Amino acid sequence: GNSVTQMEGPVTLSEEAFLTINCTYTATGYPSLFWYVQYPGEGLQLLLKATKADDKGSNKGFEATYRKETTSFHLEKGSVQVSDSAVYFCALSNSNNQGGKLIFGQGTELSVKP
Amino acid sequence: EAQVTQNPRYLITVTGKKLTVTCSQNMNHEYMSWYRQDPGLGLRQIYYSMNVEVTDKGDVPEGYKVSRKEKRNFPLILESPSPNQTSLYFCASSFRAVPAYEQYFGPGTRLTVT
């Protein structure tokens, strides 16, 4: 079946540090991959997405590359800010699975200290 | 402003007392979905709807009902809530139920069943 595994948190970094949050997936066919972000007290927002192998999604300084050979979609940012503190969810959606249902990883909490 | 709204945002109730959580979107989206978020489990889909009068079960539908009589509304009904339904609930919508469309999330409803 389809599943997503992401690194456990919490992750604590100092401002301007480099961020990597690992995400690997299991899926048949060619899923679309997403990173969603949840700021405290809010719903989830799409951060970036990639729909085919080797695509790179990017937004707000965050990047992730769809690697089919390693079934990975790791999130990176070169220099984090305090305002990036949030929970990050990796997710996939597959056309062979309930018409586009999002399957989420367990979430990784990021805390950035000044 | 394009948005998904949910009401109430917070609810404390007792076992067995029927409740409804409303969800409404103003983007004319075809696809709507309910998720629950539990620590360590990420988000799991409860029910989804591909369009008006078309609903189907997600991964954890037991104890829940939904209806889709109008395109904009997708209420979640708990006919006899139990303590294991204590959770954070999110409604989401997207233009269509194909994999690459962004899903827009509501702000969440925190439900406690005692």
pLDDT digits (tens, 9 = 90+) for A12-35: 999 999 999 999 999 988 899 999
Q: How far is CA A92 from the centre of its chain?
A: 10
Interface of A with B (CB under 8 A): 4, 31-32, 36, 41-46, 49, 51, 89, 93-95, 98-102, 104-107
B4 to chain A: closest CA residue: A43
The per-residue pLDDT for B63 is 97
Is B45 in Cβ contact with A98 (below 8 Å)? yes
A97 to chain B: closest CA residue: B99
> Alpha-carbon distance B34 to A96, whole Å?
19
pLDDT of A72-90, one tens digit each? 999 999 999 999 999 999 9
> Alpha-carbon distance B79 to B63, whole Å?
7
Distance from CA of A80 to the nearest CA of B (A): 23
Which pair of structure tokens corresponds to residue A93?
Answer: 């959606």
Is B98 in Cβ contact with A107 (below 8 Å)? no
Distance from CA of A21 to the nearest CA of B (A): 15
A41 to chain B: closest CA residue: B107
Highest averaged pLDDT of the listed ranges A3-12, B3-12, B42-51, B92-101: B3-12
Is B94 in Cβ contact with A31 (below 8 Å)? no
> Alpha-carbon distance B5 to B82, whole Å?
24
A44 to chain B: closest CA residue: B105
**Phi/psi of residue B84, each to 5°?**
-75, 0
Is A101 in Cβ contact with B45 (below 8 Å)? yes
Q: Does B97 score more than 90 pLDDT?
A: no
Candidates A8, A45, A55, A102: best to mutate against B (most CBs of B within 10 A) is A102
The per-residue pLDDT for A99 is 62
User: Are B106 and B6 within 8 A, CB to CB?
Assistant: yes
What mean pLDDT do residues B10-35 have? 96
Query: How much is the mean pLDDT over chain B?
Result: 94
The per-residue pLDDT for B40 is 82
The pairs formed by B6-10 with CB atoms below 8 angstroms and a separation of 24 or more are: B6/B89, B6/B90, B6/B91, B6/B106, B6/B107, B6/B108, B6/B109, B7/B109, B8/B109, B9/B107, B9/B108, B9/B109, B9/B110, B10/B109, B10/B110
User: Among partner residues B58, B90, B108, which is closest to A101 by beta-carbon distance?
Assistant: B58
